[in-house]
Amino acid sequence: MLRKLWFATILTLLVVLLVVGCQKTNSITIDLEKTVSADQLKQMVKSKTNYYYVGFDWRLSPSEDVKRYTPLLNYLERQTGYNFRLRVFPQNVDIAKEMGEGRVQFSIIGPLSVLRAEKYGVKSLVIGITENGTSSYRTMIVTQRDSSINKIQDLRGRTLAFSSRTSTQGYLIPRIMLAQAKIDLSELASFESFQSYEDAANAVLGGRFDAAALQDTLAEKLAAQGLVKIIAISDYFPSGGIAVASGIDPVTAAAVQKALLNFQPQGKDRDGLYQWNNSEMPKGFAALEGDPYAVYRPWIKKFGLLN
């Protein structure tokens, strides 16, 4: 009798648990489309899980570059609703290849990097507006103040510090300057590519190299401080900007492009920026017209810099 009573009790408990379990299952089966709109659902997913990674060519040191570019990404998040993260690569990493292989979706890069990335389907979104109010900049070659080097022709038999081989102002334009002055690299005593403009400048300031090729803003700053002497200035060339990788949703790319074109770093958007006036786009960004980098193409081919 006790065994029958025990069996009946267990059977009753199992039935109760089964009913309760079914009730719980039914209580959480809801139709999200009836709770939020499709647009709201898309926004929720985007804001919580969708990150776009942004790379950059080294300008000064990685820490300084990160401090400079992070406020720009914060601005883009406010304007577009998308989430962005900076991705810092070692200097010897090819950022063009990183974009081609999808490790970064956007990049703050110079013309040389953009042209090297074209084979991966990378395209420019906007071009930077420099301090002179145009989308152009220059390279300057500097020496120590008391150097006997006074013009670019004096570099024959001397040592020259470049920036990275993927740098437009730090390598490509200086190569053009040398070629226009009919100076071959073999006529230099030696030359070396450094990781950044800062490293190239320090190579001269420390006396290890006779001259260095620098971006115009840094060269002018050092010259104004009495630290270097400018001995050669290039023509104006198209400046860098921001590029987008292949495969990015056109709606996303258009939203980022619109936000960048509306960016006013010397106006309503200046709060929170870090030394933006020392960047290569101190006055924001402009729309692209035609092929702004056409002037570089024959030189890049001549110097074998596409690979």
Torsion of CA 205, 210, 211, 212, to 10 degrees: -60
Q: Measuring CA to CA, how many Å separate 220 from each of 80, 150, 152?
A: 36, 16, 17
Q: Which residues of 237-254 are buried (b: 16+ CB within 10 A; e: fewer)?
A: bbbbbbbbbeebeeebbe
pTM, two decimals, is 0.78
- The residue ranking higher by pLDDT, 212 or 167, is 212
Q: Tell me the C-alpha distance between 172 and 30, whole Å.
A: 60
- The residue ranking higher by pLDDT, 301 or 36, is 301
Tens of pLDDT, residues 30-59: 233 334 344 543 443 344 447 899 998 877
Give the relative orientation of helices 197-205 and 216-224 as an angle to the nearest 10 degrees: 30
Q: Measuring CA to CA, how many Å separate 129 from each of 27, 107, 261, 264?
A: 57, 16, 10, 11
Q: What is the mean pLDDT of residues 248-260?
A: 96
- The residue ranking higher by pLDDT, 71 or 278, is 71
Instruction: Kindly state the DSSP code that residue 234 receives in the 8-state scheme.
Output: P
Q: Residue 193, class by beta-carbon neighbours within 10 Å (0-12 exposed, 13-18 middle, 19+ buried)?
A: middle
* Matching residue, tokens 């709606």: 251
| pLDDT of the residue at 164 | 87
| pLDDT of the residue at 277 | 86
Q: What is the mean pLDDT of residues 104-110?
A: 93
Instruction: Kindly state the DSSP code that residue 242 receives in the 8-state scheme.
Output: E
- Does residue 252 sit in helix, strand or coil? helix
23 has pLDDT over 80: no
Of the pLDDT bands very low, low, confident and very high (cuts 50, 70, 90), residue 91 is low
Tens of pLDDT, residues 137-177: 999 999 999 999 999 999 999 999 999 888 999 999 999 99
- Does residue 285 sit in helix, strand or coil? strand
Average pLDDT, the chain: 84
Q: What is the mean pLDDT of residues 204-209?
A: 96
The amino acid at 247: G
Percent of the chain with pLDDT over 90: 67
| pLDDT of the residue at 17 | 37
Ordered by where they begin, the domains of the chain are: 50-134+239-303 (3.40.190.10), 139-235 (3.40.190.10)
| pLDDT of the residue at 60 | 67
